Structure formats: C-alpha cells, structure tokens
Amino acid sequence: MGLDLIILGAASATPTSNQYTTAQLLKMREHYFLIDCGEGTQKQLRRAKTKFSRINHIFISHLHGDHFFGLVGLLSTFHLLGRTAPLTIYGPPKLKDIILTQFRAAGTFTSYPMHFVVTQHKVPQVLVETDSYTISSFPLKHRIATTGFLFKEKSLKRTLNKAVADAYGIPVCDYHWIKEGKNWTSEEGKEIPNDELTLDPPQPLSYAFASDTMYTKDTAGYVKGVDVLYHESTFCEDKKARAKQTMHSTAAQAATVAKEAGAKHLLIGHFSARYTDKLKFEEEAKVVFSKVYAARELYQYSIKHSGIKVESLAPEKNEK
C-alpha cells in the first residue's frame, strides 16, 4: 500500500530540450490521477510506460500555458487510441470553452464522453469522494485564478487476524461479520471483541499539490498534516523580489509552508530555467525544512509511512 507519484514535468514557463513543464501522475488506491498537463505530457507518459486508459480524472490548476497546453493533444490521443470510458476534467471556468473551441475548429469529436467540473478558486471544494478516498481543491494566490489539490485516502476496514480466528475455531462463514466490525460469540457464550480478532488497517496517506502561488499562510492551513506537500519553488532567495513581483515562491518560502503545515515531506518544483543547478533549491529549502526533495522528471516517488523511495523511470539511452 502507498501512493506513487511520477513527475512528468518540473520546469516553469517553457519546455526545453531536456525539461518539461508541470505535469504529475498520482497513483492512489489503484486509480490514476493526472495533475496539470504541460506541453509534452503525453510523451512523458509514454516514457514512463503508463497506460493511458487508466487515467479517468485530470486536474488543471490554472490556465497559464505551462500547466495545460498539453491537454488538447492528450485528449485527441485518447480518441485516436479508441477510448470509450468517460473522462472527468477539473479546472477553471474557461477551460471547457477553450478545449471545445479547439475541437470544433478542427472538426474533431471524441469517442468518449468528457465531463467538466468547474473549480472554485476562492474557497475549498470537495471534487471527488468515494468509499476509499477524497479529492478536494483549495485556493492559491497567483496572478490568475489558481487552485491546489489535496488527495486523501480514507481508512480501510480492519482485516481478519487469521491466526487468532483459527485459535478460537471460528468458522469461515462468520469471517464476513467480523470484517464488518462485529464481535464474535462462541457456542459457550463467550464474546470475543472485534479488535482482538482483527488487525489495524494501515494509516491513510495524503498528498497535496500547491501549484503556482506566492507565499501565503493560508496554504498551510489547507494542507495541515499532509504526508507529502508539493509546493512550487520557481526561484531561489537571490530572486526573492522577482518571486513577489510574479506571484511565485522561493524554495525557502515553500519550505516555510511545509513547516507551518506540519507536513512530513516536501517536494519542490516548477524551477525557473535561470538555474542550472537544481540542488541549490533543495539546499535553501533544507535550512527551513529538512525533509525536502527537488522534483526530478521521470522519477517515481513511492510514498509510505516509513518514508519515500525514489527511483528513475527514464528509458535507457539506447532505447528507441
């Protein structure tokens, strides 16, 4: 069990020959969620060997091009691949018109239904709720309407402790009721409490995505206690004035949000092309918050309570 996060793009503004703009794929409870969709996202998905058909929800934080210019191409590819499953896209009010206008202009239709859910950029909003997880949005402070996204697992049911059940001679036909939380009574009338017959489920995990935003204390309030916080870090402290002017954040400011939120880990990205050494961001953030990672493209971050495992998904250089 755990969350798997693949960084598809971690650069700001424009893609380069070796860097892609913002896009992430989160795997949670066997579901795939695409978060932002910068130019070249579908190419990165292929490099990460991800099955496109598993993506049923796409979340767009705001309408600056480096966060959604790859979306129309990806939606078109879904159609060309013969997709029939419904797709839900969450984003700002104008996103639907932008997408449909491009399709109409090209005389294009999709082989699958698309549903658009408008996000609220002034108040938190629950977007998806199932028996196993909740996904919500929260306001960020940027030049245009922008939202972050919070992904939270729900607690699973307790699991049967087979060894204890066998020791009490509990028949298989009673397992169902025990898993549903009921005590068990033996033929002699002895009641065995449920917590003795079952094991605690793993604690639910959470992931927060704070897209483009300047530093604000409000962000920490929306993501209190999150296991992993991704927070944009466009600049280092040498460009702090520029960060304020463009309503972005520095690495130290991102770390401050993580510290104020009581986050367990911090992942920073959206790096300006002004910097060639991404470790500089990590070093500045660590002065404020120790458990920080500078996002690396085509790397998977496997999130568990025991920590984060990082592994490369990049194809071998000789792969064609």
Closest CA to 137 of 223, 127, 218: 127
Write the CA distances from 45 to 38, 48, 303, 319, integer angstroms: 12, 5, 20, 16
Cβ atoms of 197 and 167 closer than 8 Å? no
Containing H/E element for 116?
strand 114-118
Burial 192-204 (b: 16+ CB within 10 A, else e): bebeebbeeeeeb
Write the CA distances from 146 to 63, 137, 221, 230, integer angstroms: 8, 10, 17, 15
Bridge partners of residue 137, in order along the sequence: 125, 149
User: Of the listed 36, 66, 212, 227, which one is catalytic?
Assistant: 66
- Compute the distance between CA of residue 302 and CA of residue 14 in angstroms, rounded to an integer: 27
- Compute the distance between CA of residue 1 and CA of residue 30 in angstroms, rounded to an integer: 10
- Compute the distance between CA of residue 227 and CA of residue 221 in angstroms, rounded to an integer: 14
* Count of Cβ atoms closer than 10 Å to residue 56 Cβ: 14
DSSP string, 245-314: HHT--BHHHHHHHHHHHT-SEEEEE-B-TT-S-THHHHHHHHTT-SSEEE--TTEEEEEETTEEEEEE-P
218 in active site: no
Query: Looking at the annotation, which residues are catalytic?
Result: 66
